[in-house]
Chain A
Amino acid sequence: MKNGKAYLVYLALGLLTTGCATPGGPELEEARAAFQRVENDPQVVSNAPVALERAGEALQAAEQAEDDEERQHLAYIAKQRALIARQETELAIARAQVEEAEVERQQVLLKARASEAERARLRAEQRAREAELARMQTEQAQARAAQLAAQIEELQAQQTERGLVLTLSDVLFAFDRAELKPGAMRTVGEISDFLQEYPERSILIEGFTDSIGSASYNQDLSQRRADAVRDALISMGVDPLRMQTRGYGEQFPVTSNSNEAGRQLNRRVEIIISDEEGDIPERSG
């Protein structure tokens, strides 16, 4: 019957069209979807063009397969090729990141070294400054020591076990009196200058006479002479707390009193300058 044949044709066409909606089955659908995900991705296009092309070719082969089994097989191949294209892209991107990170690491290392070098330089500069300072201080200390030696020499002081000893001779005093002559002021001034320069030192002023006259008179005169020297130094600004006086009268002669020369030598005032600690051992005996 003609109607029967027409119906069959329409049925066949219908089957064909519904076949086109989902042709080839789920495997081919999966392969197409996998390819779609990569074919227009610019990262895949630029990083894995060869893998992308192979995936496209594999999909085409699957589309053109003639039997179901072959199509299933080729569709699987095509899907995997699309995944490979994706993975190759990820690989290329990761490798680029590794390279970038390497470059950055080098830069950071350089910076670290530069800043460490800078710190080392600053430390070296600091040490140099400190060394220079120490050197200058040593120089200053040496200069001062030399100065002291010079001043001591100028004072004509003698080093003894009690300290430096200056002797003011009898000629600096008025005869038989405790007043200092004007000419003595120069020596007193030198002593005052010394004491200003070396504030840590103190002095002991000891007065002596010859053996002419009574012991008590001589004791008194020697004490008053020692005091006179002290007063003169006070008038020049020396702190009295740095000075002590003693009168020993005719004790401790330095030479025989039997002639005038000897007696003049015994008539003296001794000034003992302390050490840096300010101590002066007392005269023994």
Chain B
Amino acid sequence: MKNPKELIPAAALILLAGCASVEPPVEQIAHSQTAVQQAHDVGAREYAPLELRQATQKLEQAQAAMAEEEYLEARRLAEQAQVDAELAQTMALSEEAEAAAHELRESIRILREEIARPRG
């Protein structure tokens, strides 16, 4: 028969494993969904497609983990999806602003040329 003392560490491990995955991360997943939607709204599909896809995939994986009741995994994936989506948002906005700045500088150049051209 096994020494009953050897069971204690095993039991402790089981308890610890149980304590780590406490609640389903419903709020976190909601936050991540919002972040991904916002990324879409600011044009991440056009200006930061890779980062947006990464966020979307992680969110899907988080939702799959939720279905499997793997709540720790789900929380981590959702947190990563959120931060990926935030990065995609900022990238999209800054790409767009840079494009606008470029366009403006072009139109200024054309305006200057028109002024310089002599007219009758």
Contacts and interface: CB of A to CB of B under 8 A. Distances in A.
A87 B104 contact: no
A101 B80 CA distance: 37
A76 interface: yes
A80 B111 CA distance: 41
Nearest to B107: A105
B86 A84 contact: yes
Given A81-B83, A94-B101, A105-B108, A87 B91 contact: yes
Interface in B26-48: none
Interface in A25-40: none
A109 B94 CA distance: 27
A53 B93 CA distance: 21
A84 B87 contact: yes
Nearest to A106: B108
Nearest to A90: B94
A99 to B, nearest CB: 9
B41 to A, nearest CB: 16
Contact of A76 (B80, B93, B101): B80
B107 A97 contact: no
B101 A108 contact: no
Given A73-B79, A77-B83, A108-B108, A91 B115 contact: no
A73 B76 contact: yes
Contact of A94 (B83, B98, B111): B98
B112 interface: yes
A94 B94 CA distance: 7
Interface residues of B, number: 24
B63 to A, nearest CB: 17
B105 to A, nearest CB: 6
Interface in B80-98: 80, 83-84, 86-87, 90-91, 93-94, 97-98
A115 B105 CA distance: 21
A108 B111 CA distance: 7
User: Looking at A94, A97, A102, A105, which has the most chain B CB atoms within 10 Å of its CB?
Assistant: A94
B100 interface: yes
B100 to A, nearest CB: 5
A84 B83 contact: yes
Interface in B52-99: 76, 79-80, 83-84, 86-87, 90-91, 93-94, 97-98
Nearest to A81: B83
B119 interface: yes
Contacts of B104: 98, 101-102, 105
Contact of B115 (A73, A87, A90, A108): A108
Interface of A: 73, 76-77, 80-81, 83-84, 87-88, 90-91, 94-95, 97-98, 101-102, 104-105, 108-109, 111-112, 115, 119
Top-5 shortest CB links A-B: A94-B97, A91-B94, A101-B104, A87-B90, A97-B101
Given A77-B83, A98-B101, A101-B101, 19 more contacts: A73-B76, A73-B79, A73-B80, A76-B80, A80-B86, A80-B87, A84-B83, A87-B87, A88-B90, A91-B97, A94-B94, A94-B100, A97-B101, A98-B97, A101-B104, A102-B104, A105-B107, A105-B108, A115-B115
